[in-house]
Amino acid sequence: MLSLTVFLPLLAASLLCGPRLPSPVLRWGWVVASALELALVAVLWARYDTPAEGTLAFETRVPWIPGVASDYHVGLDGLSLPLVAMTAVVFLAAALYSLRDEDRPRSRVAVFLALETVCVGTFAAADLVLFFVFFDLSIVGMYLVIAGWGHGERARSALLFFLYTFLGSLALLGGFIGLYVASDPHTFDMVELARQDPFAGGGTAAAVVLGAILLGLAVKTPTVPFHTWLPPAHTDAPAAGSAVLAGVLLKLGTYGFVRLGMTLLPDAWQAWAWVVLVVGLVSVLWGALVAMAQRDLKRLIAYTSVNHMGYVVLAVGAAGVVAADTAGAREVAVSGAVTQMVSHGLVTAALFLLAGVVLERSGTYEIDRFGGLAGRAPRFTALFAVAAFASLGLPGLSGFVAELQIFAGSIAAVPWSAVGLLGILLVAGLLLWTLQRLVTGEAGPATHRFSDVRAHELLAVGPLLLLSLAIGLAPRPLLDVVEPAAAAVVAVLGR
Amino acid sequence: MGTMEMRPLAMLPEILLLAGGLVCLLGGSFTPRRRQWRLRVVAAGALLAALVAALVGSRDPGPALEGAVVVDGLTTGTRVVVALATLAVLLLAEEEVRDDDRESETYALMLLAATGALVLGGARDLLVLAAAFLLASIPLYGLVGLRRTDRGAEAALKTYLTGAVFGILLLLGTTLVYGLAGTTRLPDLAARLATAPAAPLAVGVVCVVAGLAFKAGAVPAHFWVPDAAQGAGGHTAAFVTTIPKVGAVVALYRLVTALPETLPWGLLVAVLAVASMTLGNLAAFGQDDPRRLLGWSTVSQVGYLLVPVAVAGRTSLAAAAMLLYLAAYAVTNVVAFAVTTALPDVRDLAGYAGLGRGRPALAASLVVALLGLVGTPPTAVFVGKLAVATAAWDGGMPWLSVALLANTLVSLFYYLRWVAPVLRQGDPDVGPPVTRPWSTGAATGLAVLTLVGAPAAGILWCALGGTG
């Protein structure tokens, strides 16, 4: 069942792209495949029960490379299931958004569907080699998306993206090999490694291995100072690509922090949690400050992503600072981190798709060239306003639930992480200011060509924001899944 | 079973290839130029027969020729990889030498050189190793020069001179080791050399290693590789950068495991490995001729191949990792060269602009091959690289895995320099480039093979590692 969910998009890709199908069939086929995938994930969610400690739900394990004790091992828990669901939603939105796009549909559908398999596979993987295979393929897939369908200096941006994230993935691979060599008997299996805890007690080797893994994940997330690939990659990627990149691919990094760093190297994580915490704080503030200086809408959203991912890093860092009587608070922080991943995936995907609408109508991202869009494009204005509010953490939307948990947990565990609240303030001001510049005031030079959001674009963006609203109003169904997993992670850390 | 047995049938694959080569050589004189395809069939038949003989022979392992060679997992691995890779190269040769007046000679030289590579991989005696070195080298000089162009002549001369110098070093080293040990049999070396003086032993071994480095195309004997790759025909380039390496790397593995642990031999190989990968990668940066770029890339790939040799005997993963990487590398490298022979008129990277739209299958094969050489999953080389890096760390050289990963990142840069134009829009006024059907078929077929490499890695590992 889970394997089917992982490989369904790839299967659809081979079916759609084998014969020479006409363009509408391809584009609708993509939507149908993505909807099927979402339906499968919904079934998984409905049948999900919190697995017992040391096991996973929907587990499948088949020997793969016996020589290095690596299996095809997939499974879900409270950390991965929400992210898999978010991935399916974002990809469906990307498919709907691209319904009218006639640019080489065959290969585009193939690349995006393959990318979906890769992303779901990364979240579902319970074997380090399998994780790495999917993780690395996500880079290749995104490179093809940017280099093939981007605009502007896409070749340069794609190369920068590839080199940077490939560096990260190699560091990650180094860390994985370190874990393998340290384990006894040697294994790449995550569940097995978590049980063995090969680096119990910490030490230099543990620090080096954790450092390699953290470097790999920090590049992917990205955190300051490894974030410089993100703005150009986003600016030059196509809108659907940006939505997937920000919505899903960045989560591969933050998910890794929890899944690999905290669970597999708990002692080293505790020892170095301060560093993670500080990096998170710097990302929060730096992302917010640099975002304020942007005049390009897409770069601005990209930097708010750095800020938002900073909250996640902050939370997982704070969760590692073990002190007496803070276990409950740290559970809240981890749960908030996962909620933030889901929330940011939905909201940023919506924002980037709306930025794509802006480019498609007017050919520019320059915020100053707009103004007074509210009159010309009321639906766009409404969608953008809701997305901005969700992003800045307005109560009633998902961002609030996430950030409330993150700060409630982090401040209780480490009081001075309250400095990060400044980031929320900055981003709130920034997004409101941007909204004001775009939709109110005098019409700018690019405004008169602007037509409102069309049906397929509304269908793509609307559900993302509705889900954000649903999580904001009724977070329990999500938290019921996340909280037991967060508690399990914190229990491993406190051991 | 006694080591003094002859067991000539254990050498059946080598005998078949040698016989095939001789039939091609003599038959060429009696076959009209239009009918030379018959010799291609002979060559392919000899290779297939050798493949079958190798698989059958693997059931009856043990020494042969009075202990001078041995049939074990390494030998079988070498035989299978060499036979398959040579078959693939034969497909590329189809269009390049068809009805050429040197057609039969090309096949004969390829089969003889392949025989040499097989003996290199199976030799357990330094004297047999020296003979195999010559058998594997001399046909190469001819092959490289067969095209009779200026560049080809220069490449042939360079290959010949380098080969001659390093061949002499190999013989010198063999002499020194024989003088110290009183034997040339590898299994006896460890015991006989345990008390040998360090300095002459070091000189002797370094000379032998240098000779094998020429065959492998590794530092310090790599100069000929880029020239041969650029100057020779495409099929020859694919051949000389693939087949001899297989035999040479296996021979180095046998040598390193046979030496006493009085001196850090693993470190020597590790230094050569790092030098090869770094130098090959740095030199490949500025290349605009795709074959020259691939030539330098093979120098760096040998660096990765030497990593498991450096930790030979210190980790149970070494032999399997080496064979896995060798097999994956051989197929992937042939794919990359097949793309260049499929496009005979394109001789620089800029010429690949728009290939993605004009020739999508070929472009996809090229992207798969280049990303495969980088070691991106799910290609076969990824599994090889993972195994090799793991073996290095497990064998007590974590710094070598780090060097390998760092070099992988560096190599990405120039492989992407080639991928980038493929994805770009080409000049709309220029139609898609002329392609050759056989090479295109070989490129796409083998590219698919490398893609299923990772999912099927478990099976491969059992097949290779179980006996290695």
Per-residue model confidence as pLDDT tens digits over B20-36? 999 999 988 888 878 88
Mean pLDDT of B443-454: 86
User: In terms of CA atoms, which chain A residue is nearest residue B357?
Assistant: A104
Q: What is the nearest CA distance from B304 to chain A, expressed in angstroms?
A: 15
What confidence score (pLDDT) does residue B2 get?
47
**Per the CB < 8 Å rule, is B412 touching A166?**
yes
What confidence score (pLDDT) does residue B58 get?
86
Domain assignment present for B359: yes
Angle between helices B290-310 and B398-423 (to 10 degrees): 160
Q: Does residue A188 belong to the interface with chain B, where contact is any CB pair within 8 Å?
A: no
Three-state secondary structure readout of chain B? CCCCCCCHHHHHHHHHHHHHHHHHHHHHHHCCHHHCHHHHHHHHHHHHHHHHHHHHHCCCCEEEHHHCEEECHHHHHHHHHHHHHHHHHHHHHHHHHCCCCCHHHHHHHHHHHHHHHHHHHHECEHHHHHHHHHHHHHHHHHHHHCCCCHHHHHHHHHHHHHHHHHHHHHHHHHHHHHHHHCCCEHHHHHHHCCCCCHHHHHHHHHHHHHHHHHHHCCCCCCCHHHHHHHHCCHHHHHHHCCHHHHHHHHHHHHHHHHCCCCCCHHHHHHHHHHHHHHHHHHHHCCCCCHHHHHHHHHHHHHHHHHHHHHCCCCCCCHHHHHHHHHHHHHHHHHHHHHHHHHCCCCCCHHHHCCHHHHCHHHHHHHHHHHHHHHCCCCCHHHHHHHHHHHHHHHCCCHHHHHHHHHHHHHHHHHHHHHHHHHHCCCCCCCCCCCCCHHHHHHHHHHHHHHHCCCCCHHHHHHHHHCCC
Partners of B379 on chain A (C-beta within 8 Å) are none
Partners of A148 on chain B (C-beta within 8 Å) are 356, 423
Q: Does residue A186 belong to the interface with chain B, where contact is any CB pair within 8 Å?
A: yes
Cis preceding-peptide flag for B344 (omega within 30 of 0): no
Domain range for B305 is 265-468
Q: What is the nearest CA distance from A469 to chain B, expressed in angstroms?
A: 38
**Per the CB < 8 Å rule, is A166 touching B465?**
no
Domain assignment present for B349: yes
- Residue that wins the pLDDT comparison between B411 and A1: B411
Supply A144's token pair. 């093809």
Domain assignment present for B412: yes
User: In terms of CA atoms, which chain B residue is nearest residue A174?
Assistant: B402
User: What is chain B's mean pLDDT, rounded?
Assistant: 89
What confidence score (pLDDT) does residue B1 get?
43
Mean pLDDT of A289-313: 92
What confidence score (pLDDT) does residue B178 get?
95
| Cβ-Cβ contacts under 8 Å for A378 (sequence gap 6 or more) | A452
User: For chain B, how big is the Rg over CA atoms in Å?
Assistant: 21
Mean pLDDT of B3-11: 79
**Per the CB < 8 Å rule, is B462 touching A66?**
yes
Instruction: Answer for the pair B63, B57: CB distance below 8 angstroms, yes or no.
Output: no
Strand duo A57-65 + A70-76: pairing: antiparallel
Domain range for A376 is 2-494
Render pLDDT for B172-212 as a digit per residue (tens, 0 to 9).
999 999 999 999 999 999 999 988 899 999 999 999 999 99
**Per the CB < 8 Å rule, is A68 touching B387?**
yes
Domain assignment present for B87: no
Closest CA to A44 of A93, A77, A12, A7: A77
* Domains: count for chain B: 1
pLDDT band, very low/low/confident/very high, at A203 (cuts 50, 70, 90): confident
What confidence score (pLDDT) does residue B464 get?
62
Supply A483's token pair. 């909280």
Render pLDDT for B95-126 as a digit per residue (tens, 0 to 9).
888 767 788 889 999 999 999 999 999 999 99
- Residue that wins the pLDDT comparison between B351 and B1: B351
Mean pLDDT of A20-38: 90
- Residue that wins the pLDDT comparison between A368 and B303: B303
Q: CA dihedral defined by A154, A159, A160, A163, rounded to 10 degrees?
A: 160
Domain assignment present for B318: yes
Q: Does residue A173 belong to the interface with chain B, where contact is any CB pair within 8 Å?
A: yes
Residue A180: pLDDT over 50: yes
Residue A276: pLDDT over 60: yes
Domain assignment present for B219: no
**Per the CB < 8 Å rule, is A136 touching B402?**
no
* Domains: count for chain A: 1
pLDDT band, very low/low/confident/very high, at B467 (cuts 50, 70, 90): very low
Closest partner residue to B405 among A134, A155, A174, by Cβ? A174
Domain assignment present for B64: no
Write down the ipTM of this complex.
0.85
Instruction: Answer for the pair B113, B139: CB distance below 8 angstroms, yes or no.
Output: yes
What confidence score (pLDDT) does residue A152 get?
83
**Per the CB < 8 Å rule, is A140 touching B402?**
no
**Per the CB < 8 Å rule, is A173 touching B398?**
no
Mean pLDDT of A422-450: 88
Instruction: Answer for the pair B229, B159: CB distance below 8 angstroms, yes or no.
Output: no
Query: What whole-number percentage of chain B has pLDDT above 70?
Result: 97
Render pLDDT for A81-137 as a digit per residue (tens, 0 to 9).
999 999 999 999 999 999 888 878 888 899 999 999 999 999 999 999 999 999 999
Q: Does residue B386 belong to the interface with chain A, where contact is any CB pair within 8 Å?
A: yes
What confidence score (pLDDT) does residue A301 get?
93
User: What is chain A's mean pLDDT, rounded?
Assistant: 90
Partners of A181 on chain B (C-beta within 8 Å) are 390, 393-394, 398
Collapsing DSSP states into helix, strand and coil, what is residue A293? coil
Residue A484: pLDDT over 80: yes
What confidence score (pLDDT) does residue A63 get?
86
What confidence score (pLDDT) does residue A495 get?
63
Closest CA to B174 of B210, B219, B204, B140: B204
**Per the CB < 8 Å rule, is A67 touching B317?**
yes
Domain assignment present for B63: no
The rounded distance, in Å, linking the Cα atoms of A2 and B459 is 24
Residue A480: pLDDT over 80: yes
Of the listed ranges A28-37, A192-201, B328-337, the one predicted with least confidence? A192-201
State the amino acid at position A372 in one-letter form: G
